[in-house]
């Protein structure tokens, strides 16, 4: 969706998982049939294949993104109408720090500023 708006091709860097072929296959399937399901369909034509699979234990940036997305997902499942336990309070506090740096665009989260320096992806020693 973002790549379509920016008219730019994107490469996917993802954490290594057991079912890499299945993950790539799902995107390739959507590209083949012409669109994704849902309220905001996309043809995903701007995604370049294959994905770049990396071990997040070796890349600061991938670890950071993985954690931020996990925390945002975890926070979205917290019912603030109920009494919060200490874990939920900690998650919401962390997400309050993360949230100003990201912006909702339908179902997609993306950085507010277009980055030109990707030094945070430096491999760990």
78-120 residue pLDDT tens: 888 899 999 999 999 999 888 877 765 444 444 444 444 444 4
Q: Measured between alpha carbons, how far apart are the two ends of the chain, in Å?
A: 35
Residue 84, pLDDT score: 93
1-51 residue pLDDT tens: 667 777 788 888 888 888 999 989 988 888 888 888 777 777 788 888 898
Percent of the chain's residues with pLDDT above 70:
79
pTM greater than 0.85 (yes/no): no
Residue 83, pLDDT score: 92
Peptide bond into 95 cis (omega under 30): no
Beta-sheet pairing, 47-54 with 108-111: unpaired
d(CA 57, CA 124): 8
17, β-bridge pairs = none
* Residue 109 vs residue 69, higher pLDDT: 69
Q: Are the C-beta atoms of residues 123 and 59 closer than 8 Å to each other?
A: yes
Residue 65, pLDDT score: 84
DSSP string, 31-100: HHHS--SSSS----TTEEEEEEEE-GGGBHHHHHHHHHHHHHHHHHT--TTSPPPHHHHHHHHHHHHHGG
């Amino acid at each position: 969706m973002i790549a379509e708006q920016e008219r730019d091709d994107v490469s996917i860097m993802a954490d290594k998982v057991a079912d890499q072929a299945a993950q790539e296959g799902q995107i390739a399937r959507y590209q083949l049939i012409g669109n994704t399901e849902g309220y905001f369909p996309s043809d995903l034509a701007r995604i370049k294949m294959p994905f770049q699979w990396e071990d997040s234990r070796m890349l600061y940036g991938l670890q950071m993104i993985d954690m931020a997305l996990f925390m945002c997902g975890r926070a979205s499942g917290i019912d603030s109408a109920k009494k919060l336990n200490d874990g939920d309070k900690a998650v919401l506090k962390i997400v309050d720090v993360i949230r100003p740096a990201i912006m909702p665009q339908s179902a997609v989260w993306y950085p507010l500023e277009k980055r030109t320096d990707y030094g945070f992806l430096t491999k760990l020693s």
